[in-house]
Amino acid sequence: MIKVAFYIESMIRGGAEKMLVDIVNHMDAEVFDITIVSLFKKSVYPTASTYDLRTLVNDRVKICTLVDNGNKLKYRLFNRAYAHIDKSFVYKSLIRDDYDIEVAFYEGLPTEFVSHSTNKKSMKIAWLHTNNDRLYQDATDDYIAKIQHIYNRFDCVVGVSEFVTKSFLKYIKGVPCRTIHNGIDISEIREKATEDCGLIRSNLFTFITVGRLVPVKGYDRLIRVADRLNREGYRFLILMIGDGGEKEKLSSMIDSFSLNDSVKLLGAQDNPYKYFKISDLFVSTSLSEGFGLAMIEAMTCGLPVLATYFDGVESILGGPEYGLICDNDEESIYHMMKSVLDEPLMLNDYREHCFYQAELFDISRQTELIQQLFIEGAGHE
């Protein structure tokens, strides 16, 4: 058996965390002994909700939590130790198993933590989900050198899209990299999409978006566009599924624009897919995306997508063939949403096309590539 540990900061309700669940649930239990190591019991961000991991992963997947940050004393002790004591000593004190593969499944703290692993025999892999320009384009040379030193300790870096991988290599040099796209459990999503969402389908054209309520998602732009369309006499509904630090700000914007009947904040949902069947168009207004997993999930259910441009969006939407792409600015979002409201029949062709485009991202394909990487890294070719 190949012992694999996936390190994550906490299991907040995000795309990377959902991706991790799908990966571990589809790996071969006859070959891999899998552990998810969550550095913290709950999110360090007060407004972020977390998954109940045990209910989502197979029984054979082990779960290990290193720090109960719900206990303020334990959390302060860890932070003090991590800041002032040799980080390799902290790793050795907390990690008792000898893994063959150690995967830092997110940028930031998980990556830094694994870089200080004292397990000399393990293959160390860092996973990238983010446009690295956002992280490093304004960074000092000293900070880039520090990050370079961290990644030098890894045997391989995996980006979830070609764009993410290339953006990483603009700043960090000499580290072996490869791209393995995110995948989705198509059959599970389509099954969950049939569940009752508890809402009656509106007679109004319904937009939906799913994502964390954070600045990079550009939801403030979406609400301003909604206000503009509403003032011009358009009637529609926008369902926003997700939670995060911008919730209060977005809620205040909805109130100030008197959009409470048009824009609904539904919070984080264990099953967002059940809302797709009462929606007409998925909207992504992100300033930047590492991959755009939620768009593929919508396409899996035959829901057309409107997305702002980011590098790699064509690989998901197949250019304009499987979805609508607009320039990444507020004015372009406005014009595209307006055109859809004026001519909703334009979406008919996209419904069937996007359904089949999503098949390219089935989790089984990506899991096979991941397992092969682990087998090679563990010397079990």
Encode pLDDT of 60-73 as tens digits.
Answer: 999 999 998 888 89
| pLDDT number for residue 380 | 46
Average pLDDT over every residue of 212-240: 97
Bigger pLDDT: 379 vs 163: 163
Residue 52 has pLDDT above 90, yes or no: no
Quote the CA–CA distance of 372 and 158 in Å, as a whole number: 13
Binned at pLDDT 50, 70 and 90, residue 255 comes out as very high
For the ranges 134-138, 265-269, 357-361, 376-380, which has the lowest average pLDDT? 376-380
Strand order in 263-267's β-sheet?
Answer: 263-267, 236-241, 205-210, 281-284, 305-308, 324-326
Residue 311 has pLDDT above 80, yes or no: no
Q: Which residue segments constitute the domains of the chain, with CATH numbers given? A: 2-183+362-377 (3.40.50.2000), 187-360 (3.40.50.2000)
| pLDDT number for residue 64 | 93
Residue 290 has pLDDT above 70, yes or no: yes
Phi, psi dihedrals of residue 237, rounded to the nearest 5° = -135, 135
Binned at pLDDT 50, 70 and 90, residue 3 comes out as very high
Residue 291 has pLDDT above 70, yes or no: yes
Quote the CA–CA distance of 318 and 82 in Å, as a whole number: 45
| pLDDT number for residue 112 | 97
Binned at pLDDT 50, 70 and 90, residue 365 comes out as confident
| pLDDT number for residue 13 | 67
* SS3 state of residue 49: coil
Structure confidence by residue, pLDDT tens digits, 66-94: 998 888 898 899 999 999 999 999 999 99
Bigger pLDDT: 297 vs 359: 297
Quote the CA–CA distance of 26 and 20 in Å, as a whole number: 10
Do residues 262 and 367 make contact, with C-beta atoms less than 8 angstroms apart?
no
Question: CA-based diameter of the chain, in Å?
Answer: 65
Phi, psi dihedrals of residue 378, rounded to the nearest 5° = -85, 0
Average pLDDT over every residue of 37-45: 84
Q: Which DSSP helix (H) or strand (E) runs through 366?
A: helix 363-377
Do residues 117 and 94 make contact, with C-beta atoms less than 8 angstroms apart?
no
β-bridge pairing 236-241 and 263-267: parallel
Residue 197 has pLDDT above 90, yes or no: yes
Q: Whole-number mean pLDDT of the chain?
A: 92
Helix axes 363-377, 15-26, angle to 10 degrees: 70
Structure confidence by residue, pLDDT tens digits, 296-308: 999 999 999 999 9
Count H helices, E strands: the chain? 15, 13
